[in-house]
A and B are shown apart, each in its own frame.
Chain A
Amino acid sequence: MAAERHIKMLAVKGEVLAFQCKTRDHRKGSEVSFQSLSFNRDSQSFSVRDRTSSPIHKDSSAEMVIVHCCSALDVQQRQKVPCVLLRLCKKRTSAFRYKLYSICTSTDAKLQAEFVLPYEIRDNISIVRGPTFIWSHENAVFYVSSQTAGVKELPISIRVNFIGELPLRQRKIVIQGAQNAPSDQPNVQNVLYFIEDGRCFNSACFVPDAYSSVIQCMMVFSAEEVDSDLRSAVLVATSMKQLVLFESGLPRDVCLLPYEQPMNIQIVNTLKNDCLVVVTFSQGNVCTVWKDTFQVACCWTGVRQLLIDDFVGCGTDQMLLVFESSSEEPLSSFLLTDLCAITYSCGRSDDEELNASDAAQENHLLTVQALESRLQSGLNVLEDLQRDVAVKDRLLQQSLVALNDLVSGREHFISSPQQEGLVSLWEDDDDDDPGDEEDHGMQTECAEGALKVHRVWRRFIGQSLIFGVVLTTTNTSVTNISASVVLDSRQSAAVMNTKTVILPFPASDASVAHGPSPVKIRRSDCSANSGGSRLALVAVTEAAPLLTSGSVRCPIMLHYSTKESSGSPAGEKARLSQHCGQISLDLKDISMGKLHPRLLRDCKLNTDEAREDLLSLMALLDVCFFLVECLDHTLADVQGWLQESLRFERLEIDPSFTADPTGIRLVRWEQNSPFQGILSVYCRDELSLLHFLHSLCDFLPVSHDIQPLERPRSLAGSLAQTLQMEIQTVTQDLCSVLRSDEGARREEAESHASSQPIQTLREEWLKERGRYNERLRPLLDETRYSRLIERMIHRQLDADEAALMEAPCL
Chain B
Amino acid sequence: MTVEGKFESDEEVDRWSEENNNIIVTWKQNERGLEPNQNVRKRCCLESLKLLQKIQGIPAATERLKLEMTVSYNTFLFSLSFSNASEIEESLTHSLLRVLEAAGSQVSSSDPVRLWKAVLQTFGTSVYVPYVHKLLLIQWMLWLMQCQLEKVLTLLTQTNHKREHSAPVNLQTETRNLALSMEEDSSLMVAMAAKDLKDLLHICTVVCQGVEQMKMEKYSEALEAFQEAKGLPSPRSLLAQIHTLTGQSFAKLGQPHCALHFYRKAVEVDCACHSALYQSALVFRQLGNPKAEMEALRLLYSAVQLQSDKSSSSTSLVCPATLSGEQMTFISRIPSPSLILHSLAHTCVFNGSISDGVEYYLDLLASLQSDGKDLILTGNGTSLPRIPVVYLEAAFALLKAERYSDALVVCEEVITSTLDFIPERVLLDADEKQNVADSDVVLENVDFVLWAGAAHLLQAQAHWKLKDTKEAITNFTRAINHLVKVFSKQKDWKQKYLGNTEAMVERMVILEAAKGQALAGRGLCFLERGQLKEALRDLHLSLQMTPGCKNIKMWLTEVLWRLDRKEEALTHWREADRDAPKSVILPLYLQLWPDDTAFDFSDLKKKMEEYVQAKTT
> What is the interface of chain A, defined by CB distance below 8 A to chain B?
187, 189, 191, 199-202, 204, 208-211, 213-214, 238, 240, 242, 244, 250-251, 253-254, 256, 369, 631-634, 636-637, 673-675, 701
Contacts and interface: CB of A to CB of B under 8 A. Distances in A.
B2 A632 contact: no
B56 A632 contact: no
B57 A633 contact: no
Interface string B228-240: 0000011111010
Contact of A631 (B12, B50, B57, B236): B236
A807 B3 CA distance: 71
B59 A254 contact: no
Contacts of B59: 210, 213-214
**Range, interface on chain B:** 20 to 34
A209 B8 contact: yes
Contact of B269 (A189, A211, A251, A674): A674
B3 A189 contact: yes
Interface in B410-452: none
Nearest to B51: A254
Nearest to A236: B57
Contact of B58 (A200, A214, A369, A631): A214
8 contacts: A209-B9, A210-B8, A210-B59, A632-B237, A633-B233, A637-B233, A673-B269, A675-B236
Interface in B31-90: 39, 50, 53-54, 56-59, 61
A210 B235 contact: no
A674 B6 CA distance: 54
B57 A632 contact: no
Contacts of B380: none
Contacts of A201: 2
Contacts of B53: 242, 254, 256
Interface string B82-126: 000000000000000000000000000000000000000000000
B285 to A, nearest CB: 28
Contacts of A210: 8-9, 12, 58-59, 61
Give the one of B1, B15, B57 with max A CB within 10 A.
B57
Contacts, number: 77
A191 B58 contact: no
B147 to A, nearest CB: 24
A202 B58 contact: no
B561 to A, nearest CB: 50
A238 B12 CA distance: 18
A618 to B, nearest CB: 31
Contacts of B61: 210
A180 to B, nearest CB: 13
B309 interface: no
Nearest to B9: A210
B596 interface: no
B43 to A, nearest CB: 10
A805 B605 CA distance: 67
B193 to A, nearest CB: 8
B87 to A, nearest CB: 13
List the 8 shortest-distance A-B pairs measured between CB atoms, nearest first: A254-B53, A200-B1, A210-B58, A242-B57, A202-B3, A633-B235, A632-B236, A209-B8
A213 B58 CA distance: 8
A209 B12 CA distance: 10
A638 to B, nearest CB: 12
A191 B196 contact: no
B135 to A, nearest CB: 20
Interface in B141-200: 193, 196
B8 A240 contact: no
A251 B57 CA distance: 10
B9 A634 contact: no
Given A240-B58, A634-B236, 10 more contacts: A199-B1, A208-B9, A214-B58, A244-B54, A244-B57, A633-B235, A634-B239, A636-B233, A637-B233, A674-B234
B233 A632 contact: no
B8 A208 contact: yes
A589 B196 CA distance: 53
B316 A632 contact: yes
B315 interface: yes
Nearest to A156: B1
Contacts of A251: 54, 57
Interface string B522-561: 0000000000000000000000000000000000000000
A253 B50 contact: yes
B371 interface: no
A674 B236 CA distance: 9
Give the one of B3, B12, B269, B316 with max A CB within 10 A.
B3
Nearest to B203: A634
B54 A254 contact: yes
B564 interface: no
A187 B6 contact: yes
A456 to B, nearest CB: 45
Nearest to A701: B196
B241 to A, nearest CB: 13
Given A204-B8, A242-B57, A632 B235 contact: yes
Contacts of B492: none
Give the one of B6, B53, B196 with max A CB within 10 A.
B53
Contact of B57 (A189, A240, A369): A240
B553 to A, nearest CB: 49
Contacts of A633: 233-236
A242 B56 CA distance: 9
B315 A632 contact: yes
Interface in B235-264: 235-237, 239
B8 A211 contact: no
B4 interface: yes
Contact of B12 (A199, A208, A214, A254): A208
A251 B58 CA distance: 11
A240 to B, nearest CB: 5
A242 B54 CA distance: 9
Contact of A634 (B56, B235, B316): B235
Contacts of B4: 202, 204
A772 to B, nearest CB: 35
B236 A214 contact: no
Given A200-B1, A202-B4, A633-B234, A240 B56 contact: yes
A39 to B, nearest CB: 38
Nearest to A373: B39
Contacts of A254: 50, 53-54, 57
Contacts of A675: 236, 269
B79 to A, nearest CB: 14
Contacts of B54: 244, 251, 254
Nearest to A631: B236
A243 B253 CA distance: 61
Contacts of A631: 236
A204 B39 CA distance: 35
Contacts of A209: 6, 8-9
B277 to A, nearest CB: 19
A213 B15 CA distance: 21
Nearest to A213: B59
A636 B237 CA distance: 16
A213 B12 CA distance: 16
A584 to B, nearest CB: 51
A675 B53 CA distance: 40
Contacts of A250: 15
B54 to A, nearest CB: 5
Contacts of A637: 233
Interface in B1-40: 1-4, 6, 8-9, 12, 15, 39
A334 B132 CA distance: 51
A485 B337 CA distance: 72
B57 A211 contact: yes
Nearest to B233: A634
A373 to B, nearest CB: 8
B584 to A, nearest CB: 47
Contacts of B12: 208, 210
Contacts of B2: 201-202
Contacts of B315: 632
